[in-house]
């Protein structure tokens, strides 16, 4: 637990290509909302921002003066004061960097916005270097003394889950001097390479049938009804990715090596260890999930894509057919108003409270939905700080999947609003549980749409779309996780060439997608644009974890578990204050049980069964 400017945005991105829109904004979508960032700061040159920046710098200096070298001697009451002062610094630093980051992601090609973010990042990093001692000293407190402090009635007992997680890092902690160096160096290390990746992908252009498109618009072609347009988009992507592959290879080589060096100094047993620790999840739980999904490839993705090839009248699918709409699916633009009403209606059908929590996003400038030059790709929900509110970014094109993305990101936003009551240190949910409300929101929206659909062709299209989303969320993300595992293992043996990384990518693609596919020349470079590999190594298994967890939760909901809604809201409101075992116990679920994951996968299998039955 360390304040760091390089982690100012917890970007919750959608799954893979299926949720990445974007072309020019269509006029018949209705008025699309834009962010009002004034709840953070009125303007980049506002006196409020300058004041808070100076306050953070002074507060860090004062905190270090008052507590450095003294943590072990504090009694319970003084420790509580110390932690709450630390939390206030966290809130103020988070507010500043949230504003700079969100403003930057509205237009990553704007040099003024990029400069502001870089300058503030430098100042916050410099200021918070004074706080590096905090976690190091805290982890040095003897166990007996630690337990006494957190057991005292007038002490910091409610914060114990935060510090239990922090103390899990004790075996991997470096000296104070080295920790300060890593903290200072972060702005020219991973953060700088992350920024290079973002700015590079945002500036890429693709020539498709004489038209120049950005990355989002070109990715959007992969879901076009016209197969020739899909192919043109895929080939344009391959051409540009291939042309830039040396830069992307350098970024991945550098980040993987940097991580390996730090892991070596910390004596981390595996490249994945840090992620598992931050997620507060046991490696064996992740391994059980990974094994259950890979074992299910033949009865999920392989089986579904063979079915889809028949629907499309093809002997083999090309990569541009993977997310193609069905021939019977009628293309229809969904206006923003209809999307809003659909999602809010589905949320209200579960509980009016859920819809009430989502409503302000539409009314108060908490969503930025339009497609604009330089805007960050994809979608995310950023919690900012617990004293303000979350903001949702979308690139809305009016497709059914965009409606599902809206439901997904609003789920994150609702989760973040509920967890905010825990306070800054306890609100943050481990990534493995961070997808719970988002995927549950998608499921509610999907079920509401399915219930209203009586036309067989429309029901088939809706079911197929959901199966593809679940495959992208579970199968694709576990394949991505395997790719990352292979990449980091290979990088440990030496520098990787583009051909090396391409081969790793294709090995997991063939395994996960199955024999229904042929892979065009150039597809081997499609690893280059996936932001998760750059921003959050090994993040991707959280999507599969979340989907499996939600499928099991939804089964309990459908089975009529008593007081389900109350238990659900209690789980979301817990934020990061409880372990996944404790959170799932009221639902009779246990993620450490291998059968738990099979239960979730069986829901996907059941949808495929229904689709196959429609063919009979």
pLDDT reading at 455 higher than 90: no
Query: Span 517-529, mean pLDDT?
Result: 96
Q: Which of 347-351, 400-404, 564-568 has the lowest mean pLDDT?
A: 400-404
Q: Which of 16-20, 49-53, 415-419 has the lowest mean pLDDT?
A: 16-20
Helices (H), 376-491: 400-419, 424-427, 431-434, 436-452, 456-470, 476-491
Percent of the chain beyond pLDDT 90?
72
Strand partners, 409: none
pLDDT reading at 17 higher than 70: no
Q: What is the pLDDT of residues 362-375, one digit of tens each?
A: 999 999 999 988 89
Give the pLDDT band (50/70/90) at residue 452. confident
SS3 content of the chain, % helix, strand, coil (to 5): 70, 5, 25
Give the pLDDT band (50/70/90) at residue 23. very low
pLDDT reading at 7 higher than 80: no
Query: Span 537-562, mean pLDDT?
Result: 90
Q: What is the pLDDT of residues 250-266, one digit of tens each?
A: 999 999 999 999 999 99
Q: Which of 133-142, 311-320, 409-418, 521-530 has the lowest mean pLDDT?
A: 133-142
Question: Is the Cβ–Cβ distance between 447 and 555 less than 8 Å?
Answer: no
Distance CA(106)–CA(92), nearest Å, equals 22
Rg (CA), the chain: 24
Query: Span 159-176, mean pLDDT?
Result: 87
- What does the block give as tokens for 571? 């789980």
Query: Span 551-561, mean pLDDT?
Result: 90
Strand partners, 208: 211
- The pLDDT value given to residue 475: 96
Query: Span 544-549, mean pLDDT?
Result: 89
- The pLDDT value given to residue 172: 87
Q: What is the pLDDT of residues 570-616, one digit of tens each?
A: 999 999 999 888 999 999 998 888 788 888 899 899 999 999 998 76
Percent of the chain beyond pLDDT 70?
95
Query: Span 133-140, mean pLDDT?
Result: 89
Distance CA(517)–CA(317), nearest Å, equals 5
- The pLDDT value given to residue 5: 35
Q: Which of 16-25, 555-564, 597-606 has the lowest mean pLDDT?
A: 16-25
Q: Which of 243-252, 463-472, 490-499, 587-596 has the lowest mean pLDDT?
A: 587-596
- The pLDDT value given to residue 132: 86
- The pLDDT value given to residue 16: 35
Mean pLDDT of the chain: 90
DSSP assignment string, 277-345: HHHT--HHHHHHHHHHHHHHTIIIIIHHHHHHHHHHT-SSB-GGGTTPPPTTPPP-PPPHHHHHHHHHH
Question: Is the Cβ–Cβ distance between 200 and 244 less than 8 Å?
Answer: yes
- What does the block give as tokens for 95? 């507010």
- The pLDDT value given to residue 187: 78
State residue 380 phi and psi, 5-degree precision: -160, 160
End-to-end CA distance of the chain: 56
Quick check: pTM over 0.75?
A: yes
Q: Which of 206-215, 313-322, 418-427, 453-462 has the lowest mean pLDDT?
A: 453-462
Distance CA(453)–CA(439), nearest Å, equals 21
Q: Which domains does the chain have, with CATH numbers?
A: 40-168 (1.20.140.70)
- C-beta pairs of 339-344 under 8 Å, 24+ apart in sequence: 339/396, 339/398, 339/402, 339/403, 339/406, 340/406, 342/403, 342/445, 342/448, 342/449, 343/403, 343/406, 343/407, 343/410, 343/441, 343/445
- The pLDDT value given to residue 177: 84
Distance CA(225)–CA(312), nearest Å, equals 11
- The DSSP symbol for 176 reads H
Distance CA(51)–CA(92), nearest Å, equals 11
Q: Which of 385-389, 460-464, 530-534 has the lowest mean pLDDT?
A: 460-464
Question: Is the Cβ–Cβ distance between 215 and 202 less than 8 Å?
Answer: yes
pLDDT reading at 4 higher than 60: no
Q: What is the pLDDT of residues 198-252, one digit of tens each?
A: 999 989 999 999 999 999 889 989 999 899 999 999 999 999 999 999 999 999 9
Give the pLDDT band (50/70/90) at residue 422. very high
- The pLDDT value given to residue 136: 85
pLDDT reading at 555 higher than 80: yes
Question: Is the Cβ–Cβ distance between 444 and 347 less than 8 Å?
Answer: yes
Query: Span 99-114, mean pLDDT?
Result: 95
Give the pLDDT band (50/70/90) at residue 331. low
User: Nearest to residue 497, comparing CAs of 487, 507, 506, 483?
Assistant: 487
Task: Report the SS3 class of residue 208.
Answer: strand
pLDDT reading at 8 higher than 50: no
pLDDT reading at 21 higher than 70: no
State residue 464 phi and psi, 5-degree precision: -65, -40
Q: Which of 17-26, 31-40, 75-84, 601-610 has the lowest mean pLDDT?
A: 17-26
- What does the block give as tokens for 389? 């509110």
Query: Span 477-490, mean pLDDT?
Result: 98
Question: Is the Cβ–Cβ distance between 555 and 599 less than 8 Å?
Answer: yes
pLDDT reading at 377 higher than 90: no
Question: Is the Cβ–Cβ distance between 543 and 279 less than 8 Å?
Answer: no
pLDDT reading at 433 higher than 50: yes
Mutual angle of helices 541-558 and 564-573, in 10-degree steps: 150
Residue that the structure tokens 């009221």 belong to? 586
If one counts every other C-beta atom within 10 angstroms of the C-beta of residue 108, the result is 21
Helices (H), 204-244: 215-220, 227-243
Give the pLDDT band (50/70/90) at residue 64. very high
User: Nearest to residue 579, comparing CAs of 439, 432, 420?
Assistant: 432
pLDDT reading at 119 higher than 70: yes
- The pLDDT value given to residue 418: 98
């Amino acid at each position: 637990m360390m304040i760091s400017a390089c982690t100012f945005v917890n970007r919750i991105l959608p799954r893979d290509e299926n949720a990445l829109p974007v072309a020019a904004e269509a006029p018949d979508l209705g008025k699309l909302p834009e962010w009002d960032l004034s709840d953070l700061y009125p303007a980049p040159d506002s006196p409020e921002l300058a004041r808070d920046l100076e306050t953070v710098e002074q507060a860090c200096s004062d905190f270090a003066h008052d507590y450095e070298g003294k943590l072990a001697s504090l009694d319970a009451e003084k420790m509580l004061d110390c932690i709450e002062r630390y939390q206030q610094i966290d809130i103020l630093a988070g507010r500043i960097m949230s504003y700079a980051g969100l403003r930057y992601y509205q237009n990553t090609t704007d040099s003024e916005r990029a400069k502001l973010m870089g300058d503030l990042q430098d100042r916050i990093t410099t200021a918070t270097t004074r706080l590096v001692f905090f976690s190091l000293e805290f982890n040095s407190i003897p166990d007996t003394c630690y337990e006494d402090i957190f057991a005292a009635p007038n002490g910091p007992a409610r914060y114990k889950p935060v510090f239990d997680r922090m103390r899990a890092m004790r075996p991997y902690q470096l000296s104070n001097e080295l920790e300060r160096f890593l903290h200072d160096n972060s702005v020219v290390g991973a953060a700088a390479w992350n920024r290079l990746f973002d700015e590079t992908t945002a500036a890429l252009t693709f020539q498709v049938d004489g038209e120049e498109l950005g990355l989002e618009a070109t990715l959007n072609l992969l879901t076009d009804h016209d197969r020739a347009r899909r192919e043109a988009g895929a080939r344009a992507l391959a051409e540009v990715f291939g042309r830039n592959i040396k830069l992307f290879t350098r970024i991945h080589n550098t980040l993987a090596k940097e991580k390996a060096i730090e892991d070596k100094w910390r004596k981390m047993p595996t490249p994945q260890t840090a992620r598992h620790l931050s997620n507060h999840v046991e490696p064996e739980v992740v391994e059980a999930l990974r094994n259950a999904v890979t074992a299910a490839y033949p009865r999920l993705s392989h089986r579904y894509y063979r079915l889809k090839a028949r629907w499309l009248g093809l002997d083999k699918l090309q990569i541009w057919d993977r997310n193609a709409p069905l021939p019977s699916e009628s293309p229809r633009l969904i206006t923003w108003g209809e999307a809003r009403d659909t999602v809010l209606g589905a949320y209200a059908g579960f509980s009016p409270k859920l819809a009430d929590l989502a409503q302000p996003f539409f009314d108060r400038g908490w969503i930025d939905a339009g497609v604009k030059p330089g805007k960050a790709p994809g979608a995310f929900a950023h919690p900012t700080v617990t004293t303000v509110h979350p903001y949702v970014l979308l690139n809305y094109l009016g497709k059914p999947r965009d409606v599902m993305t809206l439901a997904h990101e609003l789920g994150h936003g609702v989760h973040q609003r509920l967890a905010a009551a825990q306070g800054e240190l306890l609100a943050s949910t481990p990534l493995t549980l961070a997808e719970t409300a988002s995927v549950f929101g998608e499921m509610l929206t999907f079920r509401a749409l399915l219930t209203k659909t009586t036309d067989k062709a429309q029901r088939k299209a809706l079911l197929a779309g959901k199966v593809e989303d679940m495959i992208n969320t579970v199968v694709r993300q576990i394949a991505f996780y395997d790719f990352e595992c292979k990449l980091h293992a290979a990088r440990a043996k030496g520098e990787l060439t583009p051909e090396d990384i391409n081969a790793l990518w294709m090995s997991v693609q063939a395994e996960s997608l199955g024999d229904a596919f042929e892979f065009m020349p150039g597809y081997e470079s499609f690893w280059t644009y996936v932001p998760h590999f750059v921003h959050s190594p090994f993040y991707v298994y959280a999507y599969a974890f979340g989907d499996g967890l939600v499928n099991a939760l939804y089964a309990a909901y459908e089975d009529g578990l008593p007081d389900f809604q109350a238990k659900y809201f209690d789980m979301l409101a817990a934020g990061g204050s409880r372990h996944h075992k404790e959170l799932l116990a009221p639902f009779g679920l246990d993620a450490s049980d291998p059968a738990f994951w099979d239960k979730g996968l069986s829901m996907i299998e059941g949808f495929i069964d229904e689709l196959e039955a429609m063919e009979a």
